[in-house]
């Protein structure tokens, strides 16, 4: 704290709370963070709080609050330099101020008396006048008003409400109606206003469980403790989330079970309660005959319950509820939740029983009545395209038997879109198809393929579990890419409404991770051949799009930019080979000869690009005159069979290392031989030698990319 006097600056902690009606739960965490850090950032930028001041965010269903340490009651004054104008413009011949200078001074709040205090500064060839002044630091009341309005204006509000204040006249726009504002600097109320509210020191606790309906806050630092003790509220989002997590684990542990792991559900429940109380409930075991995915989803999505799993990960007939009240006898709360969940589970059982009365194959015809895209036809037409692509992939991967299985799985894969269960829970598409296929007596590999054909659905998701599933999933994603690129629906900037980047990454992962020996160019061509229209340009765009995503994927795997570029620019047809090629490039780059050979490779590439098209061809040994070119030719003839043999065996590391012996003859060649000789025959022969060298060196990767 500074010394006494009227303008003494007091440094204390600050608490600002906005009390509102129930906030949207899925947005609460983001709203709390944005409110706290937006307000604190403004105070820091105004000089009212130090840059390293600790900021604590609070967010509960009915409040947004922030605690900022070491906030000053008044910001320090700031020295400001105002650049005015060149001296010849500011002063006349006698040195008197011109009208232009006086006008400028007046605009800055100064008068003619300030002329004698102006400072002259030489800037380049001109002399310029400056006015030095001091701007008084903002008071906390002024600065907090600015910070509060700024933070509220920038909140990531999903949907704004409009409501009237008590005067029946003033309209306010905010995420939910606000009913209270607290602003405490230490023990003192800061006189600010926002959303039609004037700041005080009183807030409200839990609707039903607070000791008193209103909590009078003693000071900024007592906020958390007083709300817990008097208001029966845990105001901090993270603290409340941690308490729920602890109670869930404890309650599940008593049953010898574990709660389902779902961070998004945990966040949402944290945003729904102010005083969490976890209670154990159960439902009738007869419902366990329904696929557990259906039961888990209905409990999570509709009721915000935490299903309990056994040690093997199987659903049990028990679940946990996070209540917002703590009655002495929780029996009524438990029974109420058990009563509410029963009709939900009964609906799921009804859908499951009804759906199984009709075979998947009998639903396929109905896909022709469902629109997929107004320019790409129906789901039925799409299914036929996916079948064709999946059959071709199956043929390439495993012959006629795999092709036939992939064809059946692709035909049935979308049929569950017409079931009641998927109509109610779209998230279960594919999963329900697998259950219904098993019920219909389809082989397990086809049921698994139907279940898995949307995989991978997100980064880190599991891949399809068998070859049939991989064929159908690849076909499904490639058809999507070909169709949408074909009609110009390509991702732009951060806009990707059809998730085509995710589809491309899925294709890449399915080719590389299970090491599928498929030609990417042929795959993309097969996808486009499934469409009637000719999309030559779009096909090239999809190829480029996949390579771009491939580069990003490989960088995320830990390879550096040079290694990735070297391999991707060599355009390998089979991407399953890429990890081995990258390992070979990394091993080659560690050799002492690598830098010199990479630089030479880059030089050779430049020479060949600049040479005329007729240059090169077969090497005529009789035209090799210089000792250095003879030596290079001989070294290449000895090294190339070894490098090519290793390449054909798939031993890319050995293939590249076999070329290391070329360093000395290549260096000697460039030191002693003029490639662009005046004699046309000599020139063509030397270019042919370089073409052979270039081809030998770049089979595994474009080594020029390793050059510094």
Beta pairing class for 277-282 and 315-323 = antiparallel
- C-alpha span between 403 and 73 (Å, rounded): 76
Q: pLDDT band at 238, cuts 50/70/90?
A: very high
Residue 34 inside a domain? The answer is yes
Q: Are 696 and 636 in contact (CB under 8 A)?
A: yes
pLDDT tens by residue, 332-342: 999 999 999 99
- C-alpha span between 404 and 390 (Å, rounded): 9
Residues 462 and 538 in one domain: yes
**Is the pLDDT score of 83 beyond 70?**
yes
Residue 570 inside a domain? The answer is no
Locate 481 and state its tokens: 């890419």
Residues 176 and 253 in one domain: no
* pLDDT given at position 683: 82
Matching residue, tokens 């000869």 = 593
Half-sphere exposure (CA, 13 Å, Cβ side) for 564? 15
Locate 416 and state its tokens: 């569950």
Half-sphere exposure (CA, 13 Å, Cβ side) for 368? 4
Q: Are 112 and 102 in contact (CB under 8 A)?
A: yes
Please state the rounded mean pLDDT for residues 358-378.
94
Residues 212 and 68 in one domain: yes
Strand partners for 67: 15, 56
Residue 501 inside a domain? The answer is yes
**Is the pLDDT score of 441 beyond 80?**
yes
Strand partners for 19: 63, 180
* pLDDT given at position 225: 97
Q: What percent of the chain has pLDDT over 90?
A: 68
* pLDDT given at position 22: 95
Q: What is the pTM of this model?
A: 0.80
Residue 674 buriedness (CB in 10 A; 0-12 / 13-18 / 19+) = exposed
184 closest CA partner among 60, 293, 73: 73
Which DSSP string corresponds to 601-645? HHHHHHHHHHS-TT---S--GGG--SHHHHHHHHHHHHHHHHHHH
pLDDT tens by residue, 197-232: 999 999 999 999 999 889 999 999 999 999 999 999
* CATH for 417: 1.10.3210
**Is the pLDDT score of 254 beyond 50?**
yes
Q: Are 265 and 306 in contact (CB under 8 A)?
A: yes
| 184-198, 255-269, 275-289, 596-610: least confidently modelled range | 596-610
Residues 169 and 248 in one domain: no
Residue 56: enclosing H or E segment and its boundaries? strand 55-60
- C-alpha span between 480 and 149 (Å, rounded): 46
Residue 360 inside a domain? The answer is no
* CATH for 691: 1.10.730.10
Q: Are 84 and 128 in contact (CB under 8 A)?
A: yes
Q: Are 145 and 192 in contact (CB under 8 A)?
A: yes
Residues 112 and 159 in one domain: no
* pLDDT given at position 4: 44
Q: What helix, strand, coil percent values describe the chain, rounded to 5? A: 55, 15, 30
Residue 331: enclosing H or E segment and its boundaries? helix 331-355
Residue 362 inside a domain? The answer is no
Please state the rounded mean pLDDT for residues 538-558.
93
* pLDDT given at position 514: 95
Locate 180 and state its tokens: 């209270």
Average pLDDT of the residues of the chain: 91
Residues 412 and 499 in one domain: yes
- C-alpha span between 195 and 656 (Å, rounded): 70
pLDDT tens by residue, 611-641: 764 555 788 778 888 888 888 899 888 898 9
Strand partners for 320: 280, 306
Residues 465 and 537 in one domain: yes
**Is the pLDDT score of 186 beyond 60?**
yes
Q: Prior bond to 173 cis, omega within 30? A: no
Residue 3 inside a domain? The answer is no
**Is the pLDDT score of 150 beyond 60?**
yes
- C-alpha span between 147 and 472 (Å, rounded): 55
Locate 650 and state its tokens: 């798939």
Full domain range(s) for residue 113: 78-135
Residues 100 and 23 in one domain: no
| 120-129, 268-277, 370-379, 611-620: least confidently modelled range | 611-620
Residue 376 inside a domain? The answer is yes
- C-alpha span between 404 and 212 (Å, rounded): 72
**Is the pLDDT score of 529 beyond 90?**
yes
Residue 572 inside a domain? The answer is no
**Residue finishing a domain among 92, 109, 135:** 135
User: Dihedral angle at the C-alpha atoms of 622, 623, 624, 625, nearest 10 degrees?
Assistant: 110
* pLDDT given at position 612: 63
Number of CB atoms found within 10 A of residue 112's CB: 12
Residues 61 and 156 in one domain: yes
Q: In the 8-state DSSP scheme, what is residue 370?
A: S
**Is the pLDDT score of 364 beyond 60?**
yes
Please state the rounded mean pLDDT for residues 374-384.
94
* pLDDT given at position 5: 45
Residues 393 and 527 in one domain: yes
Residues 58 and 181 in one domain: yes
Please state the rounded mean pLDDT for residues 476-503.
92
pLDDT tens by residue, 510-522: 999 999 999 999 9
**Is the pLDDT score of 17 beyond 60?**
yes
* pLDDT given at position 554: 94
**Residue finishing a domain among 355, 378, 409:** 355
SS3 category, 119: strand
506 closest CA partner among 542, 458, 472: 458
Q: pLDDT band at 41, cuts 50/70/90?
A: very high
Residues 206 and 275 in one domain: no
Locate 74 and state its tokens: 């008044």
What is the number of structural domains in the chain?
Answer: 5
* pLDDT given at position 170: 86
Please state the rounded mean pLDDT for residues 76-94.
85
**Residue finishing a domain among 209, 229, 249:** 229
Q: Are 437 and 412 in contact (CB under 8 A)?
A: yes
53 to 38, 40, 394: CA distances (angstroms): 14, 9, 62
Q: pLDDT band at 708, cuts 50/70/90?
A: low
**Is the pLDDT score of 706 beyond 80?**
yes
Strand partners for 392: none
Which DSSP string corresponds to 27-40? GHHHHHHHHHHHHH
- C-alpha span between 549 and 701 (Å, rounded): 18
């Amino acid at each position: 704290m500074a010394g006494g006097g009227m303008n003494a600056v007091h440094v204390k902690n600050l608490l600002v709370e906005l009390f509102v009606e129930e906030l949207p739960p899925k947005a609460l965490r983001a709203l709390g963070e944005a409110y706290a850090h937006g307000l604190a950032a403004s105070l820091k930028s105004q000089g009212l709080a130090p840059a390293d001041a600790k900021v604590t965010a609070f967010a509960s269903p009915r409040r947004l609050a922030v605690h900022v340490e070491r906030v000053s009651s008044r910001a320090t004054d700031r020295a400001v330099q105002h650049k005015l104008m060149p001296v010849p413009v500011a002063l006349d011949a006698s040195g008197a101020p011109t009208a232009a200078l006086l006008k400028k001074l007046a605009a800055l709040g100064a008068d003619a008396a300030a002329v004698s205090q102006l400072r002259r500064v030489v800037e380049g060839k001109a002399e310029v006048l400056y006015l030095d002044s001091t701007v008084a630091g903002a008071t906390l009341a002024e600065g907090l008003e600015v910070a509060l309005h700024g933070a509220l204006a920038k909140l990531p509000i999903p949907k704004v409400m409009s409501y009237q204040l008590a005067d029946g006249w003033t309209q306010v726009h905010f995420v939910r109606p606000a009913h209270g504002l607290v602003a405490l600097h230490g023990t003192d109320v800061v006189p600010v206003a926002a959303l039609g509210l004037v700041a005080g020191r009183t807030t409200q606790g839990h609707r039903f469980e607070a000791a008193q309906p209103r909590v009078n806050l003693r000071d900024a630092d007592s906020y958390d403790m007083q709300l817990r003790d008097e208001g029966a509220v845990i105001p901090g989002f993270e603290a409340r989330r941690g308490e729920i997590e602890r109670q869930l684990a404890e309650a599940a542990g008593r049953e010898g079970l574990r709660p389902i792991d779902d961070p998004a559900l945990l966040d949402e429940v944290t945003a729904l309660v102010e005083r969490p109380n976890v209670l154990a409930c159960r439902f009738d075991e007869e419902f366990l005959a329904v696929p557990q995915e259906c039961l888990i989803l209905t409990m999570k999505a509709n009721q915000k319950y935490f299903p309990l799993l056994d040690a093997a990960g199987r659903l049990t007939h028990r679940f946990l509820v996070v209540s917002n009240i703590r009655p002495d006898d929780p029996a009524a709360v438990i029974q109420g939740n058990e009563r509410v969940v029963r009709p939900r589970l009964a609906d799921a059982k009804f859908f499951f029983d009804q759906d199984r009365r009709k075979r998947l194959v009998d639903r396929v015809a109905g896909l022709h009545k469902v629109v997929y895209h107004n320019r790409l036809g129906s789901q039925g037409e799409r299914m036929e395209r996916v079948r064709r692509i999946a059959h071709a992939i199956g043929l390439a991967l495993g012959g006629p038997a795999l092709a036939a299985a992939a064809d059946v799985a692709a035909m049935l894969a979308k049929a569950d879109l017409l079931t009641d269960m998927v109509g109610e829970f779209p998230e279960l598409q594919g999963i329900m198809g697998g259950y219904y296929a098993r019920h219909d007596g389809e082989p397990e590999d086809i049921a698994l393929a139907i279940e898995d054909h949307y995989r991978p659905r997100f980064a880190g998701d599991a891949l399809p579990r068998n070859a049939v599933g991989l064929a159908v999933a690849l076909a499904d994603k490639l058809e999507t890419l070909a169709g949408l690129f074909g009609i110009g629906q390509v991702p732009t900037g951060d806009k990707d409404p059809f998730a085509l980047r995710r589809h491309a990454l899925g294709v890449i992962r399915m080719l590389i991770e299970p090491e599928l020996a498929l030609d990417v160019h042929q795959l993309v061509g097969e996808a486009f051949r499934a469409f009637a229209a000719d999309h030559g340009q779009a096909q090239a765009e999809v190829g480029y799009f996949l390579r771009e995503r491939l580069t990003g994927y490989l960088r995320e795997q830990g390879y550096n930019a040079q290694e990735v570029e070297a391999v991707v620019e060599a355009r390998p047809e089979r991407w399953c080979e890429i990890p081995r090629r990258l390992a070979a490039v990394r091993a080659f780059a560690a050799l002492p000869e690598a830098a010199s050979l990479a630089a030479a490779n880059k030089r050779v590439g430049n020479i060949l690009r600049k040479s005329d098209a007729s240059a090169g061809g077969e090497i005529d040994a009789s035209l090799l005159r210089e000792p250095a070119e003879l030596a290079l030719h001989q070294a290449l003839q000895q090294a190339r069979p070894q490098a090519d043999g290793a390449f054909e065996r798939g031993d890319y590391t050995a293939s590249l290392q076999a070329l290391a012996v070329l360093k000395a003859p290549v260096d000697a060649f460039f030191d002693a031989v003029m490639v662009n000789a005046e004699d046309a025959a000599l020139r063509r022969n030397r270019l042919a030698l370089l073409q052979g060298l270039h081809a030998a060196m770049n089979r595994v990767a474009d080594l020029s990319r390793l050059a510094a």
